[in-house]
Chain A
Amino acid sequence: MSAVLRRSRKSPAKDGPAARRDIPPGMRPPPLEPMRNPGLSRARLLDMHRFLRLNRVLEDQLSALYRQGKIVGGLYSSLGQESISVGTACALEPGDLLAPMIRNIGSLLVRGVPPLSLFLQFLARHAAPTAGKDGTLHFDDPGRSIIGPISVLGTLIPVMTGAALAARMRGESRVALTYIGDGGTSTGDFHEGLNLAAVLGLPLVLVVENNGYAYSTPVDRQFAVDSLAERGPAYGIASESVDGTDVLAVYAATQRAAARGRGGGGPTLLECRAFRRRGHAEHDDMWYVPRDIVAAWEQRDPIDRFESFLVEQGHATKGDLRSVEENLAAELDETARQALGSPYPPPEETLRGVYAGGD
């Protein structure tokens, strides 16, 4: 990590790829379309807003803990992409299967994972879902139909295909949704999993979060198509590309995909276009990303957009929305304090649980 920090301080932007003039067209924000309510009640809209805000406040607090040196390991922000996690998760039925990737803390919150569990995970405490054996969002929650990710990208696509297969074998109408980044679409498992789901006609919804960069690698070094939705026809499956900063568009597209899967229409590849407005992880100041691109996407902040929509449509006042944020911040302050007081695992925990019956 220190090597990366040193390099970032020494590298002047004019020498590095940050000086590139040929910004891939797919990296700019798509044309701005007005947000449209796909028929959600005011209560549902405000619920969605609360999750978006909870996502951001929670990550702000985790970031503060990281800067205090309290987070163990890496921290990965979803700033500017919260709409993808929240929009997709809100569109599923409670029994549908969901597997998050590293920037989908919002999906877990929608599913009802308590923020305390998430603090404990990042703080590597004994009471965390993984008892300190793994961190971040790497845990499952069968009661909430959540399957946990691993760090290797793409692996969840075959795994969720198998989960959808098992549900079908048991006659259960359950959609399986998981995520992959723009970089993760280059893996073999992306192809193998999506193709297997297509051949078996399974209700898999694969959400591609195209956020411009995979660590320092821009999308034009990752693939040669303009939109990843172009890959859908190559697999013989439905695909769609939406503005990932529009939570309602993400919600509506996910609902279409889930309905298609439930109706026997097979998998859907759903590209959500947004931008990674922070580094790959907290240690990374993303000196390699042109600032004007970041600025352009800051103008498309998904929460700002949704709040303007809610106010314009008369669902809430600015004051209402501000108090949601203030209340969440106060609640999470207390939760963080509680997590910080929770003990680390005893060293002998190391040896437990490798096999069934191993404690």
Chain B
Amino acid sequence: MALTTYVEAIRQGIWEEMERDERVFILGEDVGIYGGAFKVTEGMLERFGEMRVIDTPISESAIVGAAIGAALMGMRPIAEMQFIDFISCAFDQITNFAAKNRYRWGAGVPIVIRGPSGGGVHGGPYHSQNPEMYFVHTPGLKVVAPATAYDAKGLIKAAIRDEDPVIYLEHKYLYRRIKEELPKDDYIVPIGRAAVRREGKDLAILTYGAMLYQALEAADVLAREAGLQTEVVDLRSLLPLDKDAILSAAKKTGKVLVVHEDTRTGGIAGEIAAIINEEVFEYLDGPVLRVTAPDTPVPYSPPLEEFFLPNKEKILKAARQLAAY
């Protein structure tokens, strides 16, 4: 059976939604004839025409603003950010217009804003960022970050069908490194639902995006060297968070480690630790620990970036510390 890469899964998901619903269209920089900087929209111009695959000027705010206007008219736009780092240029349209519209006067803004996020490819400070928490802090938005090809496809389809604005973060490190066999039939992955990737009773690692694979490798080592059974939970959705999944992992293991590639202060780990504290404190056998990037921009040079990014070794160190409680 053919294996589908993570990036191809995103492309398939968008393609199928454009076939299914003529209200769906895509706009962004170089999405047309070039097929997108990472080829997510390859072939779409030929198939769907320039009315539905729209090359725009380098104007992220106008790309999102126009998507909002079209969504208010009943369309289902997908706005591509060539790199998610540039989403900052559209911050106002996203946080002030798209996010607040339904609350203010009842009209939802069903748009998807998607683009490549994350480090590990030596992209430096402006091609490696993880901007999720700017948006997780904005009521009215949804934020998802798939780690598998299956989820990449299922979540983009769910995002397109969602009635509210969704920020869809594609980890560029995973684009062509991750592949799997996908179902032929139409499916979605519901937004707001985490997935348990490995069952375990001794400790739980909660993570998302590219860090899932570091966590799974660490869990293998913990099983081999110490016989520890580690539960690994892929959050998949950061807003809304799957509180039930978080709380059940905490209750089951009593020891929770949160891992994210995003920087430390104000990262989702802090929020998760607070939820666990408030709701299941009596189940805990140790503190909720974090493994995250340090509070710096993403550096460029390989040894610096390697130092910056969380990895299996850093996870193991924290996991051993937690296991000792």
Partners in one complex: yes
Q: How large is the interface on B (under 10, 10 to 19, 20 to 34, 35 or more residues)?
A: 35 or more
A142 to B108, CA, bound (A): 12
The reply to whether B97 and A150 contact each other, CB–CB distance below 8 Å, is yes
The reply to whether B62 and A195 contact each other, CB–CB distance below 8 Å, is yes
With a cutoff of 8 Å between Cβ atoms, the chain A residues found around residue B70 in the complex are 162-163, 165-166, 169
A3 in contact (CB, < 8 A)? no
Q: Digitize B199-240: 1 where CB-to-A-CB distance is under 8 Å, 0 elsewhere.
A: 000000000000000000000000000000000000000000
A37 to B127, CA, bound (A): 58
> Could you list 12 further interchain pairs (A-B, Cβ under 8 angstroms) beyond the known A165-B66, A354-B102?
A138-B104, A155-B96, A158-B59, A158-B65, A159-B68, A160-B69, A169-B52, A169-B75, A192-B65, A193-B65, A354-B140, A357-B163
B25 in contact (CB, < 8 A)? yes
B9 in contact (CB, < 8 A)? no
The reply to whether A166 and B69 contact each other, CB–CB distance below 8 Å, is yes
Nearest residue in B to A353 (C-beta to C-beta)? Answer: B103
The reply to whether A133 and B103 contact each other, CB–CB distance below 8 Å, is yes
CB-based closest 9 A-B pairs: A158-B65, A162-B69, A162-B66, A356-B163, A166-B73, A192-B62, A163-B69, A192-B59, A166-B70
Interface residues of A (CB under 8 A from B): 97, 129-130, 133-134, 138-140, 142, 147-148, 150-152, 155, 157-167, 169-170, 176, 188-189, 192-193, 195-196, 199-200, 353-357
Q: Smallest CB–CB gap between B228 and chain A, Å? A: 39
A100 to B193, CA, bound (A): 40
Given contacts A150-B97, A165-B70, A356-B164, contact A134 B104 (CB under 8 A): yes
A161 to B139, CA, bound (A): 26
Could you say which of B97, B102, B140 has the most chain A C-beta atoms within 10 Å of its C-beta?
B97
From residue 52 to 86 of chain B, which have CB atoms closer than 8 A to chain A? Answer: 52, 54, 56-57, 59, 61-75, 77
A150 to B82, CA, bound (A): 27
With a cutoff of 8 Å between Cβ atoms, the chain B residues found around residue A134 in the complex are 104-105
9 A-B contact pairs sorted by A residue (CB < 8 Å) = A97-B73, A130-B104, A133-B104, A134-B105, A152-B96, A161-B66, A163-B70, A163-B73, A169-B70
With a cutoff of 8 Å between Cβ atoms, the chain A residues found around residue B114 in the complex are none
From residue 115 to 145 of chain B, which have CB atoms closer than 8 A to chain A? Answer: 139-140, 142
Query: Which of B25, B51, B92 contacts A155 (CB under 8 A)?
Result: B92
A254 to B72, CA, bound (A): 24
Given contacts A150-B96, A166-B75, contact A353 B62 (CB under 8 A): no
Nearest residue in A to B162 (C-beta to C-beta)? Answer: A356
B255 in contact (CB, < 8 A)? no
Q: Smallest CB–CB gap between B87 and chain A, Å? A: 14
With a cutoff of 8 Å between Cβ atoms, the chain B residues found around residue A354 in the complex are 102-103, 139-140
A165 to B107, CA, bound (A): 19
With a cutoff of 8 Å between Cβ atoms, the chain A residues found around residue B62 in the complex are 157-158, 161, 189, 192-193, 195-196
